[in-house]
Chain A
């Protein structure tokens, strides 16, 4: 009951005209950037981080959450109509959805994706509502040693388990941790990795790294590939966006199943939306009455994975809000937004900033409704955005990358850093290194070090505390299993 009471207060905050406006701006911008190839929610939040100097925390997070949810909706539009999934989680949507679009069923595919996203987003937000407090209560028992071990687990799952290669994921993570250490060590006052450059002694701003990897790196990569690039064709929406009775009856179960798969996986400290979308796809294929339709446009194959994707995106907010543990690049950018307000996410957040958190959660419900209303009728507008010619799109992306970076302190050094990180991003893309672990390592690395130091201060330098505290030992054991199990399995199957 108390939860509902708090939620009601949250709605009172989210429904004020100003916050409704921010929510609307968020979902609108979010959908737009989700539609545009080459821009994702992490990059957008990075570019909007400077806003945090201007508006209050609640408004900023309502905006960011709107962008986060909106980008999921927009991403599915692109993968259905263009077949160039903006992010890995929508690969599955592209498989079936694009086939449906090719057969003249684009409207139905967009519909089932949007309504499925709404159902999943709402179920996921209900999940956040009722899971946040229990998780916080549990997390209050965490000591610094347990936090450190939890972060180790997140490091392993984010970089080694998800993604194609543990080695490349861990390399990206290590690079991120090093980038996060640049500058004055807050506890001892010693400068680290500053190469004698004064600008570096304050540390590298995470905006520079995110914009460098996601905007500059991606643009360089696409420019280098122009000879082999085949111009993608946008499929027109010719059929009605209203689903037929048969579409409804084939969609509603996959929506629910997808939500139930996606949310728990997203809420785990591992995160990631690839696993739930693929799981949902295979489940729907197994349960379908006409499994032979899969591969040539089965509506279940859009409805389920799209719901799983959105539900897991909602799930990611649970460890983010309750533990201060981001498991995706976007969540990591939100964490750094919290930091720029001087707010520490984690178990204390719910008691120290209850109205911020509940206002945010309430605005997720509202944002979902707005997205449903906004998405389908405006599909013609999104199709227009898809047709922005590449030269203008990437020119614009680099202009905004410059604004975000140069505006930090009007320093050319920041621009040069942006370019260096962009070149690194190009090589990472070219040789298939994941980029999200860089951001997560950069944000979480300093927090892991801080917790490690606190743990060692409490235990007076006794390292075994990591293994003698049951919680910490369990988390480290899970991390070890997550790291080693795939290797052992591969080694055994190779023999």
Chain B
């Protein structure tokens, strides 16, 4: 599997290495701007961030080298199913947008519906019914019975 597209894979693995290097860069940037001076401490707040940045940087460099040399062994990823990812992404985004306004039950019913679609379901009515029941029971159970608050919303207000 890993040998499918050696060229493409080496390129992707190099990109992963560069991504880790970029993360190390962000850590360095954020470490530099940590304010230091106010309170006396034997080991200041920057010591561990510098060590982590160093570790991340070295690993990023080694990964980049490994990528340039042809990459390492992993699932080739095959054909990415963009349609499935699209449905999943839509569900996740709707969830984050709607949950503060429409409430958990509506937002998560839609998330459930889109996720089921992403995994190949073609029965939206059944999925919506199951998703709604699940979210309804979960809301009552967590928010009302256990007291683990998951916000209010259009339906939640009526309960």
Chain B binds chain A:
yes
Q: Which residues of A contact B (CB under 8 A)?
A: 50-51, 53-54, 164-165, 167-168, 170-171, 173-175, 177-178, 181, 185, 187-193, 195, 216, 219-220, 222-228, 389-392, 394-396, 398-400, 402-403, 406-407, 410, 412, 415-416, 419, 427, 430-432, 445, 448-449, 452-453, 456-457, 460-461
B65 to A, closest residue via Cβ? A167
Expressed in whole angstroms, the Cα–Cα distance for A181 and B109 within the complex equals 35
Of B12, B13, B52, B131, the residue contacting A178 (CB under 8 A) is: B52
CB-nearest residue of chain B to A178: B52
Residue in chain B with minimal CB distance to A410:
B151
| Chain B residues near A (Cβ < 8 Å) | 12-13, 16, 19-20, 23, 27, 30-31, 34-36, 38-39, 41-45, 47-49, 52, 55-56, 59-60, 62-63, 66, 72-75, 77-81, 84-85, 87-88, 91-92, 95-96, 99-100, 104, 107-108, 111-113, 115-121, 127, 130-131, 134-135, 138, 142, 146-151
Max chain B Cβ within 10 angstroms of own Cβ: one of A222, A223, A228, A456: A223
User: In the complex, what residues of A have CB within 8 A of residue B12's CB?
Assistant: 431
A177/B48 in contact, CB under 8 A: yes
Interface Cβ pair total, 8 Å cutoff: 213
Residues of chain A lying within 8 A (CB to CB) of residue B120: 226, 390-391
Q: Are B63 and A412 in touch, CB under 8 angstroms?
A: no
Residue of B91, B104, B121, B151 near A398 (CB, 8 A) is B91
Give every chain B residue within 8 A of A389 (Cβ-Cβ).
121
Residues of A within 8 A of B56 (CB): 171, 174-175, 178
Determine if A445 and B48 form an interchain contact, defined as CB atoms under 8 angstroms apart. yes
Taking CB atoms, residues of chain A closer than 8 Å to B55 are 170, 173-174, 177
Beta-carbon contact of A181 and B49 below 8 Å: yes
Q: Are A226 and B81 in contact (CB-based, < 8 A)? A: yes
Known: A224-B80, A406-B99, A410-B149. A192 touches B27 (CB 8 A): no
Give A51 to B145 CA distance when docked, in angstroms: 12
- A193 CA to B112 CA, complexed, in Å: 33
Bound CA span A407–B139, Å: 11
Residue of B nearest to A177 (CB): B52
Distance from A299 Cβ to chain B, minimum over Cβ atoms (Å)? 31
* A171, B80: Cβ atoms closer than 8 Å: no
* B36:A190 contact, CB within 8 angstroms: yes
- B13 in complex: contacting residue of A226, A399, A403, A431, CB < 8 Å: A431
Using A195-B30, A457-B42 as known contacts, say yes or no to A432 and B73 having CB atoms under 8 A apart. Answer: yes
